[in-house]
A and B are shown apart, each in its own frame.
Chain A
C-alpha cells in the first residue's frame, strides 16, 4: 500500500466517527515534530503517528517514534500510533497503555482501533469529565478503597501474629529465662527447641571459639 492509500483509509475511518482532518499548516506540536495526520471534532484533537511497512526496519525506529509521540500529548487530546497489522504483533501494548497512547492497525482492507487512546486535557477551564474519564475516575477511587482495606487488613493480621508471640518474648538481660509458656502458638521449629537456651547465652558465657 502507498502512503497515500493508508492516509485515505485513516481519513475515512476518522470521518466516519465524526472527526474532520486538520490541514498540516494548522497543526500544533508544541515545538516538536508534527504528526503525520491530525483530526478534530470541535472539542478535542487527535494526532496520529503513521508507520509504513518499511519504517520499522531499524532497531530503534519504534522507540524513537514512541518517544516523539509522547510529545504530541502536550498539544493533542488523543494520540495514536498507526502500524501495519503484520508488524503490530511485535508491539507490547502494555507500555503504550501505561503512557495513554492508543494503537491502530491497518491492512489493505480495513483500519482497526485495537487500543483506545487516553484523553489528555490541556485546558482545565474547558476540560470536562467525559464518560471515559468519569468511569476511570470512579474505578481508580474504587481501587484506592480496596488498597486501603487490604492495607488495614494486613496490618491487623500482622499485629495479631505478633500478639501471639508476645507472651514468649525473652526479657532482656536475663537470657536464662527462655520461657515459652504459650509455645503451642509458636511455629513448630521454635517450640521446645534446645537451641533457644543455648543461643540466648551467647556473649554471657566463657569465651569459646569453636574453630
Chain B
C-alpha cells in the first residue's frame, strides 16, 4: 500500500478521560468531539422494542435521547477511561471503546472506490499497560474484519502526541486530567522508564472546592461535581506563595473577594471574609503538602494516596516540581538540561485564571511550575502551556500517521509501528 494512500486516509483518535476526539486528515484543524462514554440500554424499554434493531451500547450525540430518570443510571452510563486505564476484564468498558471506535470510523467513511481502510493512529494515556494495547488492537482487528474500515493501526502515548503537535522533539510533557497526571520525558521517543505518574488531577481540586463550599455555608450545593468544578474554575486561584497570598487576602478581603453567580439561576456563591480560601484550591492541585490541608484530611477530605493501576505506581502527594525533577533525573545527564528547557503543560487541569489586578499573589500554571522548580534549585527552565489542549493529542496522531512509513511494522519491543490487518 502506497504512502500516498496512507496520507490520504490517515485517521486520528484520542481516548481522553472525559472526551473522545476523532477525525481523518481531511478534518482540517479540529477533530470531532464527543464524550468518552456509552449508555447501556434497557432491553425491556418501550422505545427499544419498537424503534427497530436492538442496540446494546449507545455513544455520541444520541446518548441524551436514551437517558432515563432511573436509579440505575450511573450503572448504565459508562465512562471507560475515567482514570486513563481500563481494567483488563471490564467487558462493559471495552464494549464502549469498540462502539466509539466504530462510530468514529463510520462517521468518516469516504465514498471513494479506492478506499480499503484507514491508517488509524490511536492515542492512550502514557501509563496504559500493555494489555490495553493488546485489547485495543484486538478491537481494531474485529472492526477491520467486519467493516473493512481499518487498513492498519498504531497506538501512541498521549504525551508524545502533544509534543508532536507542538513541534517540540525534546521536552518533558505533563499531562494532567481529571483523575491523575503523568510526567513524561520525550526525546524523539517517549522515555517510558522515566514516566512519573501522580494520583492527583482536576478531580482532587474539585473535592477541596467542595470542602471549602461546605465551610462557607454552601454544603447543599456540593453534590453535583460538575457544579463544583464550575465554581473551582471561576474562583480558584494559584498562589505564587500560599502563606503570603493568604495574608494579602485577609488584609484586603474586598479586593480578593471570591464571588460566582451561577448562570441561569438565582444562586450566587460568595466566600466573603473567607475569600482567602480560593488560594488553597490552586495550591492543592500543584502541591498538597502545606500544613493547612491537614485539617481538611482530618475532617474527611480524601488524601491522595499512592496506588498501583496496571503496571504503574501513582504517587499521591508528590508536587509537580518534584515529579518533573524525578522524571528528568531518570534520563541521561546530557539530556537533562534540554528537558528542563522545554516543559509543556497539557490538559484541562492547567487552565487557571490569573487576574491582572492580583499579580502579586495569583499566577498562572506555567509560573507556578517554574517557581516549584526554582525552590528546588532548577533555574534554567521554559514552561509552556499547551495551545488548544483539547485538540493537540489528535493533531499529534495525524502528524504521526502522515509521516511514519507504511512498512514500519508494529514491534512489541519498541511499542511503535503499524499493525496491519
Q: How far is the CA of A203 from the CA of B417 in the complex (A)?
A: 8
Q: How far is the CA of A193 from the CA of B402 in the complex (A)?
A: 12
Query: Within 8 Å of chain B (Cβ to Cβ): is A138?
Result: no
Q: How far is the CA of A166 from the CA of B3 in the complex (A)?
A: 11
Q: How far is the CB of B288 from chain A (nearest CB, A)?
A: 29
B51 near A172 with CB under 8 A, answer no
A169 near B4 with CB under 8 A, answer yes
Quick one: closest B residue to A70, CB to CB?
A: B50
A169 near B46 with CB under 8 A, answer no
16 other contacts beyond A66-B50, A196-B399, A202-B416, with CB at 8 A cut-off? Answer: A63-B49, A161-B28, A162-B8, A165-B25, A170-B3, A170-B402, A172-B3, A172-B407, A188-B29, A189-B29, A189-B396, A193-B167, A195-B163, A202-B404, A202-B405, A203-B407
Contact of B402 among A92, A154, A190 (CB under 8 A): A190
B191 near A204 with CB under 8 A, answer no
Quick one: closest A residue to B165, CB to CB?
A: A189
Of the 9-residue stretches B182-190, B296-304, B317-325, B340-348, which lies at the interface with chain A? B182-190
Contacts of B50 in A (CB 8 A): 63, 66-67, 70, 95-96, 98-99
Query: Within 8 Å of chain A (Cβ to Cβ): is B129?
Result: no
Count how many chain A residues have C-beta atoms less than 8 Å from C-beta atoms of the other chain. Answer: 47
Q: A211-B191, A211-B193 are in contact. Are A154 and B403 (CB under 8 A)?
A: no
Query: Within 8 Å of chain A (Cβ to Cβ): is B277?
Result: no
A161 near B188 with CB under 8 A, answer no
Contacts of B29 in A (CB 8 A): 187-189
Cβ-closest 4 pairs across A and B: A210-B189, A203-B408, A211-B192, A199-B403
Cβ contacts B391-404/A at 8 Å (1 or 0 each) = 00001101110111
B405 near A60 with CB under 8 A, answer no
Quick one: closest A residue to B195, CB to CB?
A: A211
Query: Within 8 Å of chain B (Cβ to Cβ): is A178?
Result: yes
B405 near A200 with CB under 8 A, answer yes
Count how many chain B residues have C-beta atoms less than 8 Å from C-beta atoms of the other chain. Answer: 49
Query: Within 8 Å of chain A (Cβ to Cβ): is B2?
Result: yes
Q: How far is the CB of A171 from chain B (nearest CB, A)?
A: 7
Contact of B191 among A60, A62, A154, A210 (CB under 8 A): A210
User: Which chain B residues in 6-29 approach chain A with CB under 8 Å?
Assistant: 7-8, 25-26, 28-29
B residues engaging A (CB < 8 A)? 2-4, 7-8, 25-26, 28-29, 44, 46-47, 49-52, 110-112, 163-165, 167, 169, 187-194, 395-396, 398-400, 402-409, 413-414, 416-417
Query: Within 8 Å of chain B (Cβ to Cβ): is A194?
Result: yes
Q: How far is the CA of A161 from the CA of B164 in the complex (A)?
A: 22
User: Which chain A residues in 133-153 approach chain B with CB under 8 Å?
Assistant: 151
Query: Within 8 Å of chain B (Cβ to Cβ): is A53?
Result: no
Contact of A95 among B26, B47, B400 (CB under 8 A): B47
B46 near A194 with CB under 8 A, answer no
Q: How far is the CB of B391 from chain A (nearest CB, A)?
A: 8
Quick one: closest A residue to B331, CB to CB?
A: A210
Contact of B169 among A95, A99, A194 (CB under 8 A): A194
Contacts of A169 in B (CB 8 A): 3-4, 7
A187 near B187 with CB under 8 A, answer no
Contact of B395 among A60, A189, A210 (CB under 8 A): A189
A165 near B51 with CB under 8 A, answer no
Contacts of B163 in A (CB 8 A): 195
Q: How far is the CA of A175 from the CA of B400 in the complex (A)?
A: 13
Contacts of B110 in A (CB 8 A): 158
Q: How far is the CB of A163 from chain B (nearest CB, A)?
A: 10
A residues engaging B (CB < 8 A)? 59-60, 62-63, 66-67, 70, 92, 95-96, 98-99, 151, 154-155, 158-159, 161-162, 165-166, 169-172, 175, 178, 187-190, 192-200, 202-204, 208-211
Q: How far is the CB of A56 from chain B (nearest CB, A)?
A: 11
A172 near B2 with CB under 8 A, answer yes
Contacts of B416 in A (CB 8 A): 202
Contacts of A196 in B (CB 8 A): 399, 402-403
Contacts of B3 in A (CB 8 A): 169-172
Contacts of A194 in B (CB 8 A): 167, 169
Contacts of B194 in A (CB 8 A): 211
Contact of B417 among A165, A189, A198, A202 (CB under 8 A): A202
Q: How far is the CA of A142 from the CA of B47 in the complex (A)?
A: 28
Q: How far is the CB of B242 from chain A (nearest CB, A)?
A: 36
Quick one: closest A residue to B408, CB to CB?
A: A203
Q: How far is the CB of A142 from chain B (nearest CB, A)?
A: 22
A170 near B403 with CB under 8 A, answer yes
Contacts of B25 in A (CB 8 A): 165
B405 near A175 with CB under 8 A, answer yes
Contacts of A208 in B (CB 8 A): 188-189, 414
Q: How far is the CA of A193 from the CA of B400 in the complex (A)?
A: 11
Q: How far is the CA of A194 from the CA of B407 in the complex (A)?
A: 21
Contact of B111 among A155, A188, A189 (CB under 8 A): A155
Contacts of A202 in B (CB 8 A): 403-405, 408, 416-417
Contacts of A99 in B (CB 8 A): 50
B395 near A195 with CB under 8 A, answer no
Q: How far is the CA of A159 from the CA of B112 in the complex (A)?
A: 9
Contacts of A166 in B (CB 8 A): 4
Q: How far is the CA of A60 from the CA of B7 in the complex (A)?
A: 53
B28 near A187 with CB under 8 A, answer yes
Contacts of A63 in B (CB 8 A): 44, 46, 49-50
Can you list 16 pairs linking A and B with CB atoms under 8 Å apart?
A63-B46, A70-B50, A92-B46, A95-B50, A96-B50, A98-B50, A158-B26, A158-B111, A189-B395, A196-B399, A202-B417, A203-B404, A203-B407, A210-B187, A211-B192, A211-B193
Q: How far is the CA of A67 from the CA of B50 in the complex (A)?
A: 8
